[in-house]
Structure 1
């Protein structure tokens, strides 16, 4: 995975929202991870949102999946 380019798919104010989105992507076979997971829990809401990050080649499919959520 070292050669993969990662892009931010979505930002969420709570870890719970980010985990739900990640779970949906995982169930569709789309690799994702959460950035700022712990920082978003420490700082006030909106200061440092949790970001869902996916591989660049999965971006469009992942975006469509979360759009229908």
Structure 2
């Protein structure tokens, strides 16, 4: 019984929203790279995209640490 409860707790750490967070991080990273490589640079878009990328990367790190029980 104890092992079943422990397995249920481990399974509950992963949420289906985690997949979307990782996908949004990838999309934001692609956007920031494209903004930085563009001929005509938009400083506001580069700043907004960079801050968004930093926030999502921190969120990814916290999410993965929660999966590994490091948090």
State TM-score, norm by structure 1.
0.25
Q: Which has the higher helix share?
A: 2
Q: Which has the higher strand share?
A: 1
State TM-score, norm by structure 2.
0.24
